[in-house]
Amino acid sequence: MPQITSAPAVSPAPELYLYQREGAYIPRIAAVHDLCGYGKCSLGVAIPVLSAAGCDVCPVPTGLFSSHTAFPGWYMHDTTSILAEYLNAWKGINVDIDAIYSGFLGAPEQVDIIRSLYETYPNALRIVDPVMADHGKVYPTYTPELCEAMAQLACDADVLTPNLTEAAIILGEEWQGTDISDAEANRIIRALIGRGAKTVVLKGIQREGETLIRNFVGSAETETVEVHNEYLPYMLHGTGDVYASCLLAAIMAGRSLSEAVDFAGSFVHDAMLVSAEQPHFHERGVSFEPLLGKVCALLEE
């Protein structure tokens, strides 16, 4: 069972939470992420997960991919040139936005587009999943300029969800592997907060010889706390996107940050177990769909 050693009292946007429970308001989320034709990730995950949590999800596609880039061959169409007009048209029809959730980006200029969204919707919660690297390696479409732009964007996040490789890139440090101490996890979180992120969820601490995977969460006002789950001895693509989408789903459903971190870690763990029962699961990626009922249940008291 996941354990929370204490509960940080962080509520990034408490005023949003009340509405759904009263049935009077549907939160609207701009999901700034790519769309993959094959391989479950990005918008293919964010749209169903956040929709199950009762949100209106408005995709802002940062690229169109034939598949995610872990496959040996893929096609990418960069959508940067359409985004300014795309978002301008929203202004024309008075689309309002409660949260801006960004993930995989296609070009450094897309960070300027996200900043313009922040300006247009100054009260929206900013959740930045700085998708750019894992296991010490930058994803193939990420240039140094794009990594630098992502690092800048991370400083403006209300909720930032890096893995250890991404945290190292943002801080301009060497990646140290996944076996780091509690004190080191806390140092990394404090350094990210020092750069401007309000709340940081540092993911994927996995120590040699242990069968646990740990995530750490901290904010300027709260101490760093750890949430852990059983570590499953295989990896699947898309789990980072499922994690961030579940975290935001729980936040939008009015859960505290500690509950949201607990929910997201348990959901990914359970979805990985379900996936392992399915054919070709290594290739197809994480099967979260059978568990979407757990996301719907976030709206129950």
Ligand X SMILES: Nc1ncnc2c1ncn2[C@@H]1O[C@H](COP(=O)(O)OP(=O)(O)O)[C@@H](O)[C@H]1O
Beta carbons of 118 and 32 less than 8 angstroms apart: no
Q: How far is the CB of 264 from ligand PLP (least distance, A)?
A: 12
DSSP 85-104: HHHHHHHHTT---SEEEE--
- Is 243 near ligand X (CB under 6 A)? yes
Q: How far is the CB of 82 from ligand PLP (least distance, A)?
A: 18
Cα 290 to the chain's mean position, in Å? 20
Binders of ligand X among residues 181 to 240 (CB under 6 A) are: 203-204, 213, 215, 229, 231-232, 235, 239-240
Spatial neighbors of 205 by CB under 8 A, at least 6 apart, are 164, 178, 179, 180, 185, 213, 214, 215, 216
Among 3, 18, 5, CA closest to 253: 18
Closest residue to ligand X using C-beta atoms:
240
Q: How far is the CB of 185 from ligand X (least distance, A)?
A: 12
Task: Collapse the DSSP code of 190 into the 3-class scheme (helix H, G, I; strand E, B; otherwise coil) and give the result.
Answer: helix
CA separation, residue 222 to residues 14, 29, 62, 82, 217 (Å): 16, 26, 33, 40, 9
Q: How far is the CB of 103 from ligand X (least distance, A)?
A: 9
- Is 163 near ligand X (CB under 6 A)? yes
Binders of ligand PLP among residues 177 to 216 (CB under 6 A) are: none
Residue 298 DSSP code: G
Partner whose footprint covers residue 228, from ligand PLP, ligand X, none (CB < 5 to 8 Å by kind) = none
Q: How far is the CB of 88 from ligand X (least distance, A)?
A: 31
**Rounded to the nearest 5°, which phi and psi values hold at 176?**
-105, 15
Binding mask 249-268 for ligand X (x = CB under 6 A): ----------------x--x
Q: How far is the CB of 174 from ligand PLP (least distance, A)?
A: 21
Among 54, 241, 251, 298, binds ligand PLP (CB under 6 A): 241
Of 62 and 186, which has the nearer Cβ to ligand PLP? 62
Structure tokens, 77:
């169409």
CA separation, residue 3 to residues 10, 155, 216, 239 (Å): 18, 28, 11, 20
Q: How far is the CB of 170 from ligand PLP (least distance, A)?
A: 15
Closest residue to ligand PLP using C-beta atoms:
240
Binders of ligand PLP among residues 132 to 171 (CB under 6 A) are: 139
Q: How far is the CB of 129 from ligand X (least distance, A)?
A: 7
Which ranges constitute the DSSP H helices of 102-163?
109-120, 144-154
Q: Residue 63 pairs with which residues in a beta bridge?
A: 78
Of 110 and 245, which has the nearer Cβ to ligand X? 245
Among 2, 16, 29, 42, binds ligand PLP (CB under 6 A): 42
Among 207, 215, 217, CA closest to 181: 207
- Is 62 near ligand PLP (CB under 6 A)? no
- Using CB under 6 A as the binding criterion, the count of chain residues that bind ligand PLP stands at 16
Among 29, 51, 20, CA closest to 253: 20
Binding stretches for ligand X (CB under 6 A) = 134, 163, 203-204, 213, 215, 229, 231-232, 235, 239-240, 243, 265, 268-269, 272
Binding stretches for ligand PLP (CB under 6 A) = 34, 36, 41-42, 65, 68-70, 104, 131, 139, 237-241
